[in-house]
Amino acid sequence: MKRIILITGGARSGKSTYAERIALELSRNPVYMATARIWDEEFRERVVRHQQRRGKEWTNIEEEKELSRHNPKGKTILIDCVTLWCTNFFFDANADTEKALVEVQKEFDRFTASDDATFIFVTNEIGMGATSDNEIQRKFTDMQGWMNQYIAERADEVWMMVSGIPVKIK
pLDDT in tens, 60-117: 998 999 999 999 999 999 999 999 999 999 999 999 999 999 999 999 999 999 889 9
Based on the residue annotation, tell me whether 50 is a catalytic residue of this protein.
yes
pTM: 0.93
Which is catalytic among the residues 3, 27, 47, 50?
Answer: 50
Beta-bridge mates of residue 118: 3, 76
